[in-house]
């Protein structure tokens, strides 16, 4: 890639055409096909008006259209599919939140789309969640919800359900079609939950303790807990169509897990594992181009690791 990603959780995102990651106050994009050697590698910086460090860059799909959303210590930027055209800017200082005035104490982090209601949700260090409405007349801030006591760490969704996690490890579920009313919460144990993804009746949380917890949504209970990695988990992603998810950690290991299904209702199964020596993984992502290929990047390395999707 010619440059390496910042040491951030979940620092890789793909939309089927472009992959993106953050480095300090910049966001870099590359063609997903680069990883397989199909095209010549070309990694370019996306011009940002934000001069502060980026905390996350992620693709969100609303009405089947991809938007690139970036979060930082200053606020939120939303870009069009070309990753160049700015469609929405939200300075954090313009919000109604009463922030601590200590410099660097507030930031935005945690990004997901809730496509069923055409919303993009973004978390904040105060525990608030900003709800951005995507409509025919553009993108607007629809609401600001006070959701967590601790800084938001990650956001995800299953249909109209928004899932949020924080630095204490708490996970909460919200009903987006009912003004984001709280559905339930799963208490943490003082370890940040760095990633939260969902499929069907399951919510998956990945923690810096190296654990993976899978919860049942309808039953509102813990289904299983797995000691998935020997060191902190740094990224989590769920396959866009196949019933599996991937985790990477500071132990240089990639794991792919199969969620319970009709044929296997009792457990989460380790589907694949791979170790890449001396790789301080900071991001993992299933390609969205129909191949199911897995991409992962590492702090202080200017390469993207690539595994062929073969399910």
Residue 31 covered by a domain: yes
**pLDDT value of position 280:** 93
Residue 8 covered by a domain: no
**pLDDT value of position 109:** 96
The CA-atom distances, in angstroms, between 162 and each of 21, 72, 81, 211, 246 are 23, 21, 23, 22, 20
**pLDDT value of position 38:** 63
The gap from C-alpha 298 to its chain's centroid, in whole angstroms, comes to 16
Q: Is the pLDDT of residue 84 over 90?
A: no
Q: pLDDT tier at 105 (50, 70, 90 boundaries)?
A: low
Residues of the chain with pLDDT > 90, as a percent, come to 69
Q: How far apart are CA 252 and CA 236, in angstroms?
A: 14
Instruction: Convert the pLDDT of each residue in 26-68 to its tens digit.
Output: 999 998 876 556 667 678 888 777 778 999 999 999 988 999 9
The CA-atom distances, in angstroms, between 171 and each of 52, 109, 184, 206, 256 are 28, 15, 9, 11, 22
Q: Is the pLDDT of residue 108 over 80?
A: yes
Strand partners, 128: 146
- DSSP structural state of residue 3: S
Residue 287 covered by a domain: yes
Per-residue 3-state assignment (H helix, E strand, C coil) for the chain: CCCCCCCCCCCCEECCCEEEEEECCEEEEEEHHHCCCCCCCCEEEECCCCCCCEEEEEEEEECCEEEEEEEECCEEEEECCCCCCEEEEEEHHHCCCCCCCCCCCCCEEEEEEEHHHCEEEEEECCCEEEEEEEECCEEEEEEEEECCCCCEEEEEEECCEEEEEECCCCEEEEEHHHCCEEEEEECCCCCCEEEEEEECCEEEEEECCCEEEEEECCCCEEEEEEECCCCCEEEEEECCCCCEEEEEECCCEEEEEECCCCCCCCCCEEEEEEECCCCCEEEEEECCCCCCCEEEEECCCCCEEEECCCC
Residues of the chain with pLDDT > 70, as a percent, come to 93
Strand partners, 70: 57, 77
Of residues 264 and 77, more confidence is placed in 77
**pLDDT value of position 60:** 96
Instruction: Convert the pLDDT of each residue in 272-309 to its tens digit.
Output: 999 998 899 999 999 988 888 899 999 999 888 989 87
Residue 58 covered by a domain: yes
CATH number at residue 163: 2.130.10.10
Residue 101 covered by a domain: no
Query: Does residue 284 contact residue 236 with C-beta atoms inside 8 Å?
Result: yes
Residue 190's domain spans which residues? Answer: 13-92+108-307
**pLDDT value of position 46:** 85
Number of domains in the chain: 1
**pLDDT value of position 146:** 93
**pLDDT value of position 137:** 86
Q: How far apart are CA 256 and CA 226, in angstroms?
A: 13
Q: How far apart are CA 309 and CA 246, in angstroms?
A: 12
Mean pLDDT of the chain: 90
Instruction: Convert the pLDDT of each residue in 14-24 to its tens digit.
Output: 998 899 999 98
Residue 4 covered by a domain: no
Residue 81 covered by a domain: yes
Residue 274 covered by a domain: yes
Of residues 95 and 110, more confidence is placed in 110
Instruction: Convert the pLDDT of each residue in 37-46 to its tens digit.
Output: 666 767 888 8
Q: pLDDT tier at 256 (50, 70, 90 boundaries)?
A: very high
Instruction: Convert the pLDDT of each residue in 209-239 to its tens digit.
Output: 999 999 999 999 999 999 999 999 999 999 9
Q: How far apart are CA 173 and CA 22, in angstroms?
A: 27
- E strand or H helix that includes residue 65: strand 65-72
Greatest alpha-carbon span in the chain:
54
Query: Does residue 42 contact residue 267 with C-beta atoms inside 8 Å?
Result: no
Of residues 165 and 44, more confidence is placed in 165
**pLDDT value of position 204:** 97
């Amino acid at each position: 890639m010619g440059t390496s990603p910042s040491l951030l959780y979940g620092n890789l995102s793909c939309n089927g055409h472009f992959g993106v990651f953050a480095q300090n106050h910049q966001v870099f994009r590359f063609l997903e096909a680069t990883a397989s050697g199909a095209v010549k590698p070309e990694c370019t910086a996306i011009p940002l008006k934000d001069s502060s460090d980026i905390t996350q860059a992620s693709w969100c799909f609303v009405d089947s259209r991809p938007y690139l959303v970036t979060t930082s210590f200053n606020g939120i930027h939303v870009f069009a599919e070309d990753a160049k055209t700015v469609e929405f800017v939200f300075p954090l200082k313009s919000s109604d939140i009463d922030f601590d005035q200590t410099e660097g104490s507030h930031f935005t982090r945690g990004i997901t789309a809730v496509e069923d209601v055409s919303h993009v949700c973004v978390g904040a260090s105060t525990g608030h969640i900003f709800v951005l409405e995507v409509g025919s007349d553009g993108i607007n801030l629809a609401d600001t919800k006070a959701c967590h006591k601790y800084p938001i760490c990650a956001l995800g969704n299953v249909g109209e359900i928004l899932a949020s996690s924080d630095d204490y490890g708490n996970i909460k579920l919200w009903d987006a079609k009912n003004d984001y009313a709280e559905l339930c919460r799963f208490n943490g144990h003082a370890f940040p939950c760095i990633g939260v993804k969902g499929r069907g009746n399951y919510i998956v949380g990945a923690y810096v303790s190296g654990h993976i917890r899978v919860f049942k949504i309808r039953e509102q209970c813990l289904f299983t807990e797995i000691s998935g990695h020997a060191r902190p988990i740094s990224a989590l992603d769920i396959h866009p169509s196949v019933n599996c998810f991937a985790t990477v950690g500071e132990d240089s290991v990639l794991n792919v897990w199969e969620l319970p299904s009709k044929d296997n209702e009792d457990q989460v199964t380790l589907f694949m594992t791979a170790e890449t020596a001396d790789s301080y993984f900071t991001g993992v992502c299933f390609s969205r181009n129909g191949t199911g290929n897995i991409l992962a990047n590492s702090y202080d390395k200017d390469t993207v690791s690539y595994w062929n999707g073969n399910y």
